[in-house]
Amino acid sequence: MTKIITIDGPAASGKGTLARALAEHLGYFYLDTGAIYRLVALSLLDREISPEDDEDTAVMVADTLATSFTTDMMNNSKLRSDSVGQMASRVAALPKVRDALQNLQRTLANNPPNGGAGSVLDGRDCGTVICPDATNKFFITANTEVRARRRYEELMSRGIEADYRQVLAEMDQRDKRDREREASPLKPASDAIVIDTSDLDAAQALHTVLENLN
């Protein structure tokens, strides 16, 4: 059976870096589930559509993505901007959009496209909803200031001018929406191991996860 490791947590908690490093270490497939919501968001931004005002189109975009998805779509650098992240959080609050994308995520998790023996999923609801029977579940946190600082430094290193206060405010807003929505909110699975990365670097976070694998 395919081994599945879920890594959920709020924005800039370090879960993406960790999940990617873990997948590489184990030879597993890395599935960035946030990128799937970001693909829907990018398409709506390109069409200037508000998901709250035109839910039918948002669901149609998600349905189309579910049938046409290829893993190289996740490499689109346009997906990484903060405006796409905010829009992804808005589309992700719509239950019908989530329904349209769930099977895609489960199918990829259980049938790793790289032929690996397992998958590492990074997201918000991977351990609670997408793969509740995962082999290992982790929930990654870090205090808000540390997360905003990481995000700010990431933007600056990519040559994108940013204001720390604004990064912090937008991150808070996105996390609040992701935590408080009714459909699959951001929360640790009851059997997840919670790791606070506020005082850990990437290598230490990976080491902690490896020590806790079944």
**Could you tell me the smallest distance in angstroms from the CB atom of residue 88 to ligand DC?**
4
Nearer to ligand DC, 126 or 134 (CB): 126
List contacts with ligand DC (CB under 6 A): 11, 33-34, 37-38, 85, 88-89, 92, 123-126, 174, 178
**Could you tell me the smallest distance in angstroms from the CB atom of residue 178 to ligand DC?**
5
- CA-derived radius of gyration, the chain: 16
Nearer to ligand DC, 63 or 82 (CB): 82
Nearer to ligand DC, 33 or 197 (CB): 33
**Could you tell me the smallest distance in angstroms from the CB atom of residue 207 to ligand DC?**
23
Q: Which residues of 8-22 are buried (b: 16+ CB within 10 A; e: fewer)?
A: bbbbbbbbbbbbbbb
Nearer to ligand DC, 36 or 115 (CB): 36
44, burial (CB in 10 Å: exposed 0-12, middle 13-18, buried 19+): buried
**Could you tell me the smallest distance in angstroms from the CB atom of residue 18 to ligand DC?**
12
Residues 6+ apart with CB under 8 A from 167: 82, 148, 151, 152, 155
Residue 125, SS3? coil
